Amino acid sequence: MRKLPVFTLGVEEEYQIIDPQTRDLRSHLSKIVDGAKIILNEQVKAEMHQSVVEVGTNICKNVKEATDEIKFLRSKIVELAQKQDLIVGGAGTHPFSKWQDQPITDDPRYHNIVNELQDAARSNLIFGMHCHVGIENREIGLQLMNQACYFLPHIFALSTNSPFWEGRQTGYKSFRTKVFDKFPRTGLPEYFDSVSSYDNYLETLVKTNCIDNPKKIWWDLRLHPFYDTIEFRICDMSLTVDETMCIVAIIQAIVAKLYKLSLHNMSFNIYRLALIKENKFRAARYGIEGNMIDFGLQKEVETKLLIIELLEFIDDVVDELGSREQINYVHTIMKEGTGADKQLAVFEKTNDLAKVVDFITGEFTKGL
């Protein structure tokens, strides 16, 4: 049996910095980022809004390493926030904060984005989790990206954690994606038949001043322009470490399984983007509680059943990756609900969005 290569991982999380009195998002005036840089170097950075902190792991050899890093990063940011009398939370949107009240970080990069995109950028007060999976051969990486696109709604459904926006219950399990849709070059990735056609597309956009660098392709999944990774960008920020790492482990296993198929001259079906978009909408609207389309059977199937099928599909690579414990947490998510389901349950019980914020910040440190 041919061994799988090491599918390295890099995980990025975007945290909400919150005032414990008002429960609103609050600018940390770069103090958390500046304090963290002393300990964490480049693993922490400011985001467009001053109430957001982004962290990223180092390159990790496996899910266990990535879990340890995320626990460490969450703990450090909580510690630094406490020194500023602030608290930290993890969710795709804040339940009631208004983007108009949140100052933009004073940085030329963000000024340029705001200058170009105006209120689409100013209102982009959202929080995601990104996962990089290392693939040294970009040609193989592109083929895996084309195939992995089918699974994006399944992963996304498990991550849904943004049911509120500006004090309103939106009716969506993930409203974050609806906010981000206002940006250009977002959503599901185009199909490319070769790396040269992909690179040619990026070069054309740069050459024609659509973008000043290829990182401004903000798709749900992209072959990274500078690193040898496929980057999954569709997920909402998770409440807990366990949820983040469960989803990261599933993402890594999907890539490993598709790679394993390629070793046997097989590949997963590539479906039309228009069909995958239908499943993405259903995941955003209903999370794991609705139905998605099984394109093979050409019928609606419960999303939870499709997730069980996904677990069966990846099962033969999980032990080699050493991630069974993290992947098994998916059964807890399916039983207890996603972050969105839990937020909605708190609101239904209390009718108080401040209590929802308390829940989000309370869950953030769970398992640390």
All structural domains of the chain: 9-364 (3.30.590.20)
pLDDT band at 1 (very low <50, low <70, confident <90, very high): low
**25 secondary structure, DSSP code:** B
Greater pLDDT, 28 or 241: 241
- Non-local (6+) Cβ contacts of 167 within 8 A are 95, 96, 98, 353
pLDDT band at 67 (very low <50, low <70, confident <90, very high): very high
For β-strands 229-236 and 128-134, DSSP reports them as: antiparallel
For the segment 175-192, what is each residue's pLDDT rounded down to a tens digit? 999 999 999 999 999 999
Residue count of the chain, please give it.
368
Look up residue 364 and give its two tokens. Answer: 């953030």
Check if the beta carbon of residue 197 is closer than 8 Å to that of residue 189.
no
Strand partners, 302: 291
Strand partners, 219: 187
In this prediction, residue 120 carries a pLDDT of 87
Question: Which residue in this structure is represented by tokens 């693939």?
Answer: 135
In this prediction, residue 46 carries a pLDDT of 87
What does the mean pLDDT of the chain come to?
A: 95
The residue among 5, 79, 4 whose CA lies nearest residue 35 is 79
Check if the beta carbon of residue 159 is closer than 8 Å to that of residue 235.
yes
Q: What percent of the chain has pLDDT over 70?
A: 100
Radius of gyration of the chain (CA): 20
For the segment 68-114, what is each residue's pLDDT rounded down to a tens digit? 999 999 999 999 999 999 999 999 999 999 999 999 988 888 888 89
In this prediction, residue 42 carries a pLDDT of 83
87 backbone dihedrals φ, ψ, rounded to 5° = -125, 170
Query: Where does the chain show beta strands of DSSP type E?
Result: 9-18, 44-46, 52-56, 87-89, 128-134, 164-165, 168-169, 186-187, 218-219, 221-223, 229-236, 291-294, 299-302
pLDDT score of 248 more than 90: yes
Check if the beta carbon of residue 152 is closer than 8 Å to that of residue 276.
yes
Check if the beta carbon of residue 94 is closer than 8 Å to that of residue 16.
yes
The residue among 205, 252, 253, 231 whose CA lies nearest residue 145 is 231
322: left (phi over 0), alpha (psi -120 to 50) or beta: left
In this prediction, residue 154 carries a pLDDT of 98
